[in-house]
Structure 1
Amino acid sequence: MGPTHAMSGAAAGLAIGAFLPIGWGGAASATEVFVFAGVTAGAALLPDLDSPQSTLARSFGLVSKSVAHVTEKISKSIYRATMTRKDAPIRNGHRTATHTVWFALLAGAVTAALVTKFGKNSAIGVLFFMLGLAIRGLAPTWTKKQDWAYVTGLSLALAVAVWWALPASAGSAALGAAVTAGVLVHIFGDMITKRGVPLLGGVVSIGGKRWWNFRPPRPLRIRAGAGMDKVLALACTAVTLVLAYCVAAAPHLIGAPWAAVTVI
């Protein structure tokens, strides 16, 4: 479900931002880690743009709803154009094209290209969209009580504030990597459900199928929205809180590169 995806994205973003060496593109400050985690949490909802009923589709009112309908139709068309005789027919495009590793790489590449080409304005746009999704995913109860326009305005203000406070973290490489990481977290989360995901869909043929659903052995599969989904959400929340504390208040515990400066 949406909150589980967003929280797992936040946990992964904090872990990547905190432990990835600076030389490999890792964060150089606690603020950069939190920005990376926020974008990753938002991007962890991105694959469900192929479902008009998803948290993402409801996030920006009629605009996101319309885009979700279009994405669902495009995904269905891609599936039908690339399917083999062994692939099952589908009624809609959910969990097809946007739930592949190709989409994860494409989303990150497009994000990086936009920021590189158009600079500051596109970076603010990416931050606005991803941080807006993160807010809705991480605080679903609160956002449901608010008008979507209010939450959208908050998302825009937060995006502008992040850009001015930390322009270095809004670089094309960092944002692109965060988006790809978030999408992959979503895909691997869906992979452990009963249905699984077509990780290599449309390109790689397995057993005569181009849309082979990858999933673990039956005893390890979970049902979305059921008990194990909620347990997973709680576990990701715990990891997020612990990592957030370490990043903000005790970076020396995780060997963060800025720990020495913090201690001094």
Structure 2
Amino acid sequence: MLGVHHAGTGLAAWVAFTASSPFIPSFGVMPLEPAAVALGGVVAAGAALLPDADHPSATISYSVPVVGKAVTSAIGSASGGHRHGTHSGLSAILVVMVAFTLTPLLHGHAIAGSPQVFIAGAVAAALLTFAMKVLRIVRSWGIAWLTGIIIAGLITLFLPGQWEWLPWAVAIGWVTHMAGDFLTVGGLPLLWPLPVRPPKTWKDFPLLNALWTQGGYFALPIVGVTGSWRESVVAVPLTLYGFYGIGVSALSLLPFLHLG
């Protein structure tokens, strides 16, 4: 999927999991207050770009001159290249396990000035920056960084408890990215680092070969190639739903509206 579609679907997934307003259709798996839904949606959108940190030409590689490309190149080399380690089933399991592990460290212990809150704020600042630039909320990386740092800094200082949900925003964004790529013809190396490939005769059956490629990738390629019109048909409505969700959540914070 394109970066903007990864971010948009990450935003939508967060809203679907956390929104509790009767005006927002959602699963309500992890209902949160409106502020967390609105802010967390943008953070999850940024997190949905993280698996592509294995590609030196990924959008986030341009976030910091020179350093961005150096970091993404290093991650790509360490993980085996694009759509290898960071797109594996193992990576998804690890990210979810980290979310389970880190959440208790923030829940009830999110005190301004504490190391874990400072780190959470720094991570959130970067993810907010990525999302705002990729979703075209702002036009330049400089403005994106300035806005992300200001928002995350203010919350870290005055509302540190907001970061209790941060590990799950990262996990939901990460897994949503993988789900999006699973729907493309490229698929995912779900069993990486194991080189599990289908029998050679598998390639004689086009449908089966599309689901489990000779390279050992698994896919349900309903959106076709990356950037296709089918991808847009799926991703654009989800992105609009996500923006609607954080919009309603943000408006519900106004004292004269009752949208909660």
TM-score by length of 2: 0.76
Look up the SS of the partner of 2:45 in the other structure.
Answer: helix
Percent identity over the alignment is 27
Amino acid at match of 2:189: P
Structure 1: runs of 5 or more not aligned: 77-92, 252-260
* 1:183, distance to aligned residue in structure 2 (A): 0.6
Look up the SS of the partner of 2:8 in the other structure.
Answer: helix
Q: Could you say what the CA RMSD is over the residues aligned between the two structures, in angstroms?
A: 3.2
Distance 1:126 1:62 in 2: 20
Alignment partner, residue 17 of structure 2: 16
1:56 aligns with 2:55: no
Alignment partner, residue 35 of structure 2: 31
Look up the SS of the partner of 1:26 in the other structure.
Answer: coil
| Cα displacement string for residues 145-190 of structure 1 (whole angstroms, at most 9, x for unaligned residues) | x2x334222221121123345322202xx21111111011000101
* 1:121, distance to aligned residue in structure 2 (A): 1.2
CA distance 1:17–1:75, change in 2 (3 Å): same
Distance 2:151 2:70 in 1: 25
Look up the SS of the partner of 1:241 in the other structure.
Answer: helix
CA distance 1:118–1:108, change in 2 (3 Å): farther
* 1:120, distance to aligned residue in structure 2 (A): 1.8
Question: How do 1:35-184 residues align onto structure 2 when only pairs under 5 Å count?
Answer: 35-76=39-80, 93-110=81-98, 113=102, 118-139=115-136, 142-143=138-139, 146=140, 148-171=141-164, 174-184=165-175
How many pairs were matched up?
Answer: 229
CA distance 1:200–1:247, change in 2 (3 Å): farther
Distance 1:157 1:14 in 2: 23
CA distance 1:247–1:232, change in 2 (3 Å): same
Distance 2:59 2:77 in 1: 18
Distance 1:223 1:21 in 2: 29
Amino acid at match of 2:182: M
Alignment partner, residue 194 of structure 1: 185
* 1:203, distance to aligned residue in structure 2 (A): 4.9
Alignment partner, residue 203 of structure 2: none
Alignment partner, residue 227 of structure 1: 229
Residues 7 and 137, structure 1, Cα contact 8 Å, conserved in 2? no
CA distance 1:211–1:37, change in 2 (3 Å): farther
1:237 aligns with 2:242: no
* 1:195, distance to aligned residue in structure 2 (A): 1.0
* 1:104, distance to aligned residue in structure 2 (A): 2.7
Structure 2: runs of 5 or more not aligned: 21-25, 107-113, 200-212
